[in-house]
């Protein structure tokens, strides 16, 4: 679990909003940004300006644009990777869709998305590099084509860009939360309301920095919103659908625990603790059998909807539940109806 969580700590892209002071003298945009963002090289910044991921007053301009007082500069740049080496590996993975601009991968549970601390090989990115030689390495970025990620033990759809233009176009949609993302999850307990919304800043847990915590203090963490809807009730467990309005590290896992409905089998957040509410026969043995079938958090990234970078049309993709979740849901249904 430590390997996964440390791998999840770093955001893929850094986001900045810089307002030029009233006394700001005229200065080239590339120099202005380079001076204000740590580790941002002039080359990296110029490339970002060229791609349109650095805007002034929400408009694309050139590197030699002269910054004036009160100008608002928004920046979306890839964070520097921790691991300088990226090795191509012949690892099989499931491609749900592919065209000349993007790839939709149906990630299996247990696969780490990109290299990080103690995970330098065997990741989806290692596999992508082997099968797709020309994926964009934006500003020498070591996570080619990657615009978002899902946790190691979460299954489902992940979006990969095949060109630099597509990478920037898609990354900006994630930044502005215009991507439609729906997950299926099994959670502990009987969720009271048929649908609801969880709002609470998400940041590193104060007791365990490998995990995410939910905070009411607006100064702690980042704004996060999760909408949920009940799909099926099993008494001691509930099958739900979660739609992300934002995309924070471990957002669904942290938000559901926050409202008292930890994800089933989620070891990091307490999901292996059996809820002592059912009086059905051989209840604890039944749950242990389910844990053996589903040895990871019961979370699946089912759908992705976004604007295609070339056609500018809204597109929507869906992934079926994996066999481990299907089997456990069938067992829950049979057990509670027996």
Active site (catalytic) residues: 151
Sequence-ordered alpha helix ranges (H) in 163-233: 164-175
CB 235 within 8 A of CB 336: yes
Nearest to 32 by CA among 81, 60, 69, 80: 69
Assign 164 to helix, strand or coil. helix
Task: Give the count of beta carbons closer than 10 Å to the beta carbon of residue 196.
Answer: 14
Between the two ends of the chain, the Cα-to-Cα distance in Å is 35
Q: Would you state the structure tokens that stand for residue 67, as one six-digit string?
A: 């910054």
Contact 269, 257 (CB under 8 A): yes
Chain mean position to CA 270: 21
CA angle 310, 18, 210 (to 5 degrees): 80
Which phi and psi (to 5°) does residue 76 adopt? -125, 110
Element (H, E) at 44: helix 42-51
């Amino acid at each position: 679990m430590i390997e996964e969580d440390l791998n999840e700590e770093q955001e893929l892209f850094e986001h900045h909003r810089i307002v030029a002071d009233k006394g700001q003298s005229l200065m080239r945009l590339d120099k202005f940004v380079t001076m204000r963002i740590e580790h941002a090289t002039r080359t990296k910044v110029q490339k970002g300006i060229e791609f349109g991921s650095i805007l002034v007053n929400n408009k694309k301009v050139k590197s030699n644009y002269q910054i004036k007082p009160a100008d608002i500069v928004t920046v979306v740049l890839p964070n520097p990777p921790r691991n300088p080496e990226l090795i191509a590996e012949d690892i099989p993975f499931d491609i749900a869709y592919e065209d000349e601009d993007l790839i939709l991968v149906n990630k299996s549970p247990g696969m780490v998305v990109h290299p990080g601390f103690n995970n330098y090989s065997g990741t989806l990115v290692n596999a992508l590099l082997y099968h797709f030689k020309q994926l964009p390495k934006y500003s020498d970025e070591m996570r080619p084509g990657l615009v978002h990620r899902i946790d190691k033990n979460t299954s489902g759809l992940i979006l990969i860009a095949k060109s630099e233009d597509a990478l920037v176009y898609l990354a900006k949609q994630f930044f502005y939360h215009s991507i439609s993302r729906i997950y299926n999850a099994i959670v502990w307990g009987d969720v009271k309301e048929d649908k609801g919304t969880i709002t609470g800043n998400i940041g590193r847990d104060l007791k365990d920095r490998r995990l995410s915590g939910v905070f009411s203090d607006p100064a702690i963490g980042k704004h996060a919103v999760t909408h949920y809807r009940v799909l099926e009730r099993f008494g001691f467990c509930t099958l739900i659908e979660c739609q992300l309005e934002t995309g924070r590290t471990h957002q669904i896992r942290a938000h559901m625990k926050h409202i008292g409905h930890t994800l089933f089998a989620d070891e990091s957040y307490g999901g292996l603790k059996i809820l002592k509410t059912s009086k059905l026969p051989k209840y604890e043995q039944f749950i242990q059998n389910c844990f053996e079938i589903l040895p990871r958090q019961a979370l699946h990234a089912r759908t992705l909807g976004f604007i295609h970078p070339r056609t500018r049309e809204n597109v929507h993709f869906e992934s079926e539940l994996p066999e481990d979740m299907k089997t456990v849901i069938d067992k829950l249904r049979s057990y509670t109806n027996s």
